[in-house]
Structures are given as C-alpha cells and as structure tokens.
Amino acid sequence: MNESMDRVLADWLREGPETGPREGLERALAATRRVGQKPGWALPERWIPMQLTMARTPSLRPILAIATVVLLTLALVAAALYIGSQRRPLPAPFGPARNGAVVYSEAGDLFIANQLSGEARALVSGPDTDSYPAFANQGDRVAFVRETDGGFQVMSVNPDGSDLRSLGELPGGLDRMTWSPDGTSLLVSYSDTDYKGLTAAVVNADGSGLKELATGMTTDYATWRPDSNQIVFRGHDLEADTSSAYIVDADGTNLQRLDIPSQGDVDFEGMTWSPDGKHLSFMSAGELSGLTGWQINVADIGADGSVTALHPLRFDPDADEEYYPSWSPDSRQLAFMREKDLRRQVGIANADGTGFRLVGPETVTPYMLGPTWSPDGKTLVITEIPDFEPLRERQRKMWTVNVATGAHDEVQTPVATWQRLAP
Amino acid sequence: MTSELVERAQRGDHEAFDAIASAAYHRLYAIARRILRDGYAAEDAVQDAFVKAWREIRGLRDPGAFDAWLHRLLVNACRDHARRTRRRVIELPELAIDREEPRDDLAQLADRDELERAFLELSVEHRAVLVLTHYVGLPAPEVARVLGVPPGTVASRLHYGARAMRAAIGRERDAAQPVTTAEPGR
C-alpha cells in the first residue's frame, strides 16, 4: 500500500515546473546585494579546541613552579589512589541528581567535558564515525552508535574512556536510543532498508546480544518507562493499517493499546515519560483542544498501563505552538519551546499547566533542540541549530538558563547527554 | 558546484555567488515549489535561502558541504514560509486514522486535487523528506544530513508521510459519502 503511494507520489511530484521564473532569480540576486556578509565565526573556540584558546596564567619563578608541580602531582596521585579505592556511589536511576560531566559528538568523535568550565577531552576518537552518545541513568556508562563501512554498531564505554566495547550490530539507521532504568540494556529504534517504518530492539549492555521487540508493528518513539519493565511506543499495524500508542513489557509480552485519542499518526509525536513514570507527555496537532499548531499533552498512566486522565495543555494562550516538552528531574515541571510569530523561546510551567513563564533568549532560528534539564534541575540548556553544516556540534549556539531566575548565559560546550551523579 | 566558487564567495566575491545562485536557482525553485505547492511562495523561499546563504557563507567551514547546506537553508525557508501563511489544514474528522480503508488501489486512483490537499496536510518536515527523496532522489543518509536528523528519522518520516497521505485521501472520500465503513470502536 505505501509502496503504491510512493510510486504515485513520485510520479505526482515529478509533475510541475522544473524551472523558476527568470525574474525570480533576478529579484533574489538583487536581494543578496542589498545585504552584507556576516563575519566568520568570531570565537576561536568555534574552530579549535577550547583548551588551546584559554588565556595563559602568569608563570611562577622556575624553582617555585617546579616545586609546586611536584607537590600538586603528589597530591593528585594520593587523591586518585584514595578515590580509586572508594567505590563511587551511584545515583538512583530517576529523580534529581548531582550534575556530572557532559558528553557530545563532534566530527565523528566523542568528547567529555565540564559543562561549566568548558574543559573537554576526547572520550572516543578514531577513523570511525561515533555519534548519538547517551549516559546511563546511573552515570557510569556511555552508549553511542558507531558508523563503519559495514553498518552501524551499538557501542559503550566508561566515562574515563576505558572498557570500550561493541554491544551488537544495528540492522539499520538509528532513530533513538534509551537506557533501561537499571542500566542493563538499551532500547534502540532503527529503520529498515525499505522505509517501512521503525523497528525496536533491546540490546544487552554486556554485549550478549540484541533482541527485536516483536510487536507485529512498526515501533516509533520507543522509550522505557522509568522504574519499570515497560516500553511505550507509537505502533503502526501494517496488516490492519491502524496506528496508536502502545505499551508492552520489554520481553514483548502484555502488549496493550493506550487509550490516547489521536487524529493522525503524523501529528502524534515525541512521547516522553516523566521521571517518576506516572505521566506521559506527547505532542499533537491541536485537535484535542481545537487549537492550531503543535500542542503538548500529558496523559496520566496507571501502573497497569491504563490511561487514567488526559490533559491537553496550552500553557501560553497567546502561543502559536508549543512543542518539545522536557520533564524536570523532579517530575513537577515541563520546559518546552514556545513559538509566536515565528519567534521561539523556552517556556517553563508546572505540569498541571499553571505557573507559565518564559526564560532564556528569544530566537528566530527555525531549528531549536528541545530544552535539556541538568540532573539537579537547576539549569536548562538550550541549543540553537544554525543553518550551517550539520553534525558540527561546536557550530551550534547554546545557552544555560538559571531555572530559578530565568537569567541566561551563552556557553560553548554542547550537551548531548549529561551525567547523573549521586548527591 | 565548485568549491572554488564557494571559497571566492566566502571572500566576498559577489560575482562568484551570483554564479552559484544562478546554477542552483531552478533546482531550488523546483524543490520549494513542490514543498510549498505555490509558485510565489517558492520564489520567496528561494530568495530567503539565497539571502541567508550570502550573509552567512563565511561561516561555512567545508565548501564541499555547500549543496547540503543550501538545501537545508531552503527547507528552513519553506518551513518559515508555511508557518507564516498557516496553510496547514487541521479540520480532520475525529479518529479517522484508525478506520479500515480499502487498501488495494486507493493511491492509484487518487486524483491530483486529492494528492494536493493531502500533501498540504503534512508538516513541512514531512513534505521535505518526501520531496528530497522522491523528487530530488537523494538517498536517506543525505536527506538526513540535509535536515540534520538521524537516518532512521528520515525513514520514519517517509513511511508516515506516505501513510498519512493515504489516510487523508481516505478521509476525504469518506467525508464525501454519507455512509462510513468504519467499525465502532476501531
């Protein structure tokens, strides 16, 4: 059926003009002559590692400097021995935690950084393309996807760069990847080669294998329910030609449809659990409340997977659209993108729809990543994706926002995933 | 597109940029025309993309990525244009997506008006994936690079874009007929 539509669509798209009006080109060229060029990236940090661009500190006198270095080295060795002898406590897998390092990908390598200072070092580097890093909820392991000539591999590594291992070959291109609550496995969604939708699989974190989540449907937005063995996804039953949200145990049993009305599968996207596992947010295209544009909905989900209440939300009545909801670590607030007259800004509100306020910078850039909470819930990271080359994380513009005050600062360190540490 | 022209444009050579823009114009217009389904809107979108390309070309580190970058600028311009004009149709019958539809030849029989209306119900992101794949002929990894999304997401949008069009055409036909074939509770 979709194959048939693909053919019809391709034929139909080939119809129509192949050329634009000559005067259109002339107008466009004239318009470019009325504007100047922006300078290249002014900050050297955009181009070369930040460590090389940091200001030098005044040097000490040689003997004093050497003595200081020796003492510091001894102190560091002692501290490392002490820390190494202590088993670092792991945080609970959900809820507020202490902020750790951040990991991001750049030019096919992974880097680990201190988000505040910007100091970064390579975590994984080499000829392969490594991307989509994701910290385990316990903060003790980083998963990522390695693209090689032979395909895609799910990989993992310790935050110190040790114990790099392959967890299995991914049968297609990645869509999303999330860790299981207990950190023993990963849930991956990938595309097949025939564009027939997405498939989900559970990958064992010890490298012992990958098992497809057999639901009989395509599985989009597959994501693990916190503190449970359940997975929620948007499924499309290819045989019945129906689509809905479903919840299923990680072993593929107890499949049930979630009673969430949706008017169309394209306009029902981005399901995300609150960290306490009680609420599921998703975006829909307005029909649930008669509004235009994307809106955010929150469904209350019982332990058995039943929908106990559905809340279509419009936090700002004047907004054109609200999208990309992101739960605070304590599950009490949502941060999201709020758009009005093509201007985008982050909104924060209580999950019940009250307490709306705008924070951070306003931007007109078409693409913004959804806001990311720091593990302690005190900071939001906002990322603007410029129209520059994709995949170059350092060319993105980023800000941190103080959740309490709403004040923001531009920062240089990308945040693809943030390490959670025990308080 | 030669990297030499891009590098000259990065140094402020407007003649070089004119050459780049002239070579790309018809291709970009045809893409925008198919995404937006409107000739005037397509002209505006291409102009917006060119203006932005000229303003910001100095920030492009890899001249070899110019084509992908220009495509992204164009899709962004189309997206903004569509949002400004709010052409998106949202008056859809409730839960129509879940009804059983005759599946054999619905797509084959769809006329151009039906295709047009169904296509305009899609988001620009979905339209862009369909146009870049089925019209431009870009492979999924390249579409992913242009749009800045994972390759799996491209596949998902292709699949659901085509399916949503089928559903929209089915709804339109159902709405035109007083008797529906939907089963209660489905």
Please state the ipTM of this predicted complex: 0.78
pLDDT at A294 over 90: no
The pair of three-digit structure tokens given for residue B98, joined into one six-digit string: 């879940």
pLDDT digits (tens, 9 = 90+) for B41-99: 999 999 999 998 998 888 777 788 888 889 888 998 888 787 766 533 333 332 233 33
Give pLDDT, residue A54.
Answer: 27
Nearest one of A207, A206, A224, A212 to A137, comparing CA atoms = A224
| Percentage of chain A lying above the pLDDT 70 cut | 77
Residues of A in contact with B126 (CB under 8 A): 266
Residue of A nearest to B39 (CA): A20
Are the Cβ atoms of A9 and B73 closer than 8 angstroms? Answer: no
Res. B186 pLDDT band, cuts 50 70 90? very low
Residues of A in contact with B152 (CB under 8 A): 172-176, 189-191, 198
Region A34-62: mean pLDDT is: 41
Q: Nearest-CA distance from A266 to chain B in Å?
A: 6
Give pLDDT, residue A67.
Answer: 66
Are the Cβ atoms of B98 and A287 closer than 8 angstroms? Answer: no
Strand ranges inside A125-276, DSSP E = 129-135, 142-148, 151-157, 165-170, 174-179, 185-191, 198-204, 210-212, 218-224, 230-237, 242-249, 256-257, 268-273
Region label for A422, one of left (φ > 0), alpha (ψ between -120 and 50) or beta (otherwise)? beta
The pair of three-digit structure tokens given for residue A211, joined into one six-digit string: 């098992």
Give pLDDT, residue A66.
Answer: 62
In this complex, is the C-beta atom of B145 within 8 Å of any C-beta atom belonging to chain A? yes
Give pLDDT, residue A392.
Answer: 44
Give pLDDT, residue A203.
Answer: 95
Give pLDDT, residue A123.
Answer: 96
Res. B149 pLDDT band, cuts 50 70 90? confident
Q: Which of residues 146-175 of B touch A (CB under 8 A)?
A: 146-148, 150-156, 158-168
Instruction: Give yes or no for a contact between B160 and A266, defined as CB atoms under 8 angstroms apart.
Output: yes
Q: Nearest-CA distance from A29 to chain B in Å?
A: 7
Q: Nearest-CA distance from B120 to chain A in Å?
A: 13
Give pLDDT, residue B184.
Answer: 28
Region A139-161: mean pLDDT is: 90
Give pLDDT, residue A384.
Answer: 75
Following CA atoms B106, B111, B114, B115 in sequence, which dihedral angle do they give, to the nearest 10 degrees? 90
Give pLDDT, residue A50.
Answer: 27
3-state helix, strand, coil in chain B (%, to 5): 75, 0, 25
Lowest mean pLDDT among A37-51, A63-77, B48-62, B79-93: A37-51
Region A242-269: mean pLDDT is: 77
Residues of B in contact with A234 (CB under 8 A): none
Lowest mean pLDDT among A384-393, B41-50, B109-118: A384-393
Candidate from A18, A31, A175 with C-beta closest to B156: A175
Q: Whats the size of chain A, residue-wise?
A: 423
Q: Nearest-CA distance from B47 to chain A in Å?
A: 5
Region B13-38: mean pLDDT is: 93
Are the Cβ atoms of A37 and B12 closer than 8 angstroms? Answer: yes
- End-to-end CA distance of chain B: give it in Å, rounded: 52
Candidate from B26, B76, B145 with C-beta closest to A18: B26
Give pLDDT, residue A77.
Answer: 64
Residues of B in contact with A392 (CB under 8 A): 61
Average predicted confidence (pLDDT) for chain A? 80
Res. B180 pLDDT band, cuts 50 70 90? very low
pLDDT digits (tens, 9 = 90+) for A151-210: 789 999 999 999 999 999 888 778 789 999 999 999 998 876 555 667 899 999 999 989
Q: Nearest-CA distance from A324 to chain B in Å?
A: 15
Res. A45 pLDDT band, cuts 50 70 90? very low
Q: What is the pTM of this model?
A: 0.66
pLDDT digits (tens, 9 = 90+) for A310-369: 888 889 988 878 888 999 999 999 999 888 876 789 999 999 899 999 999 887 665 666
b (16+ CB within 10 A) / e for A113-138: bebeeeebeebbeeeeebbbbbbbbb
The amino acid at residue A224 is: W
Give pLDDT, residue A389.
Answer: 43
Instruction: Give yes or no for a contact between A351 and A396, defined as CB atoms under 8 angstroms apart.
Output: no
Question: Which 3-state string (H, E, C) describes A243-260?
Answer: EEEEEEECCCCCCEECCC
| Percentage of chain B lying above the pLDDT 70 cut | 77
Give pLDDT, residue B108.
Answer: 56
Q: Using CA atoms, how far apart are residues A199 and A251, in angstroms rounded to an integer?
A: 14
Give pLDDT, residue A69.
Answer: 64
Q: Using CA atoms, how far apart are residues A419 and A400, in angstroms rounded to an integer?
A: 16
Give pLDDT, residue A57.
Answer: 29
Candidate from A241, A388, A390 with C-beta closest to B103: A241
Give pLDDT, residue A273.
Answer: 94
pLDDT digits (tens, 9 = 90+) for A9-21: 888 898 888 888 8
Residue of A nearest to B9 (CA): A37
Are the Cβ atoms of B97 and A263 closer than 8 angstroms? Answer: yes
Q: Nearest-CA distance from B118 to chain A in Å?
A: 11
